[in-house]
Amino acid sequence: MEYLTLNNGLKMPKLGFGVFQVPDLKECEEAVLNALEAGYRLLDTAAAYGNEEAVGAAIKKSGIPRQEIFLTTKLWVADASYEKAKVAIEISLKKLGTDYIDLYLLHQPYGDVAGAWRAMEEAYQAGQLRALGVSNFYPDQYKNLTLMSQVKPVLNQIEVNPWFQQNSDVAYFQGED
């Protein structure tokens, strides 16, 4: 397995298994178990996917030590405020059945981004979140966040595929320190 080293020193597998659009919990759990058996060690879910419990159950059933799995989940827009983000982090931890999340992403750049990020920074300082990042941010939104935050995002998870390459955004984020 190849790894990336994030800006906070944490190592993250380059290849991961995501469970977007797998709402059936039994199917999701089985898919994650199969992925883990096949050698995947990065799992990507989100509160909005409605399947964090299935991901957590699969991790537990796999028998693989938790520290060998890199777990990513995301804060949904409806919880993008200081108080709601604090609660949402606790809910995700409980649903995933873990006492820490490796990478916690602000899913979209909407709502009270500053308040949500502040709650995420506090959870990071407390050891509940090992790395903080964003998802679906444009370069200007990302820059605004970095200017007002104490903890710099480790990454911006954006969609890139053969039909939607976002070349200028990719170039911008690859040039970030």
Give CA angle at 146 (171, 159), nearest 5°: 40
DSSP state of 20: T
The closest of 91, 88, 89, 137 to 113, measured between CA atoms, is 137
Cβ-proximal residues to 97 (8 Å cutoff; 6+ apart), any chain: 53, 56, 57, 59, 60
pLDDT digits (tens, 9 = 90+) for 7-34: 999 999 999 999 999 999 999 999 999 9
Active centre residues (catalytic): 49
| pTM attached to this predicted model | 0.95
pLDDT digits (tens, 9 = 90+) for 146-155: 999 999 999 9
Cβ-proximal residues to 159 (8 Å cutoff; 6+ apart), any chain: 136, 166
Per residue of the chain (177 residues), what is the pLDDT tens digit? 899 999 999 999 999 999 999 999 999 999 999 999 999 999 999 999 999 999 999 999 999 999 999 999 999 999 999 999 999 999 999 999 999 999 999 999 999 999 999 999 999 999 999 999 999 999 999 999 999 999 999 999 988 889 988 899 888 888 875
